[in-house]
């Protein structure tokens, strides 16, 4: 995204981003200990946003940031990504290369997790990052959101529709919204 707007945002660590129109980058961080630590630090906010009321105590059932990060960073089919504004981390994504399944539709990639820190939302950062990610991993995609997470459903419907020019399929199955599309067919 370009432009010269002087929007300000305060990150969780207290740093101030004065201009949110700066360049957004996405970096693959497989093997990066510092990236893993940063993701762990914002993971509780991510879990809070997933579906309010659905995941009240994930740690009680063994879904902890440390365990999830270890899984992402130890899986050769996973692509843990950090979203940067200039050199400052403002979000993360985890792209999974699909594994064959009898139950799920055949796709090349799944957006397993996507998060932008709250202070940097509604500034175009998330959409810019998604465009970079979908272009980097060209192929057939599936993105899933919990139906009860209306903010996520709205975000992904808007972003996927814009990215694909409306050329995507959507289904609601078991209280999840699923968009399926081919990023290699992006309308230019």
**DSSP line for 130-167:** HHHHHHHT-SEEEEEEETT-HHHHHHHHHHHHHHHTT-
* Phi, then psi, of 106 in degrees rounded to 5: -75, 120
Q: Which CATH superfamily is domain 9-185 in?
A: Gcn5-related N-acetyltransferase (GNAT) (3.40.630.30)
pLDDT in tens, 137-188: 999 999 999 898 899 999 999 999 999 999 999 999 888 999 999 998 764 4
| Per-residue b or e along 91-123, where b marks 16 or more CB atoms closer than 10 Å to that residue's CB | bbbbbbebeeeeeeeebbbbbbbbbbbebbbeb
pLDDT above 70 for 4: no
Q: What is the mean pLDDT of residues 6-17?
A: 49
């Amino acid at each position: 995204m370009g432009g010269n707007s002087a929007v300000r945002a305060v990150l969780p660590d207290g740093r101030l981003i004065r201009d949110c129109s700066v360049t957004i980058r996405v970096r693959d961080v497989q093997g990066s200990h510092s990236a893993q630590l940063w993701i762990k630090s914002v993971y509780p906010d991510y879990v809070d946003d997933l579906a309010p009321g659905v995941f009240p105590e994930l740690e009680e059932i063994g879904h902890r940031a440390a365990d999830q990060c270890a899984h992402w960073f130890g899986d050769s089919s996973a692509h843990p990504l950090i979203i940067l504004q200039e050199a400052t981390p403002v979000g993360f994504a985890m792209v999974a290369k699909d594994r064959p399944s009898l139950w799920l539709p055949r796709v090349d990639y799944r957006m397993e997790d996507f998060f932008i820190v709250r202070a940097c939302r509604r500034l175009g950062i998330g959409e810019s990052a998604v465009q970079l990610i979908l272009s980097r991993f060209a192929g057939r995609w599936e993105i899933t959101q919990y139906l009860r997470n209306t903010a996520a459903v709205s975000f992904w419907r808007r972003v996927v529709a814009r990215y694909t020019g409306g050329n995507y399929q959507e289904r609601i199955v078991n209280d999840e919204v699923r968009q399926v599309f081919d990023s290699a067919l992006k309308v230019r």
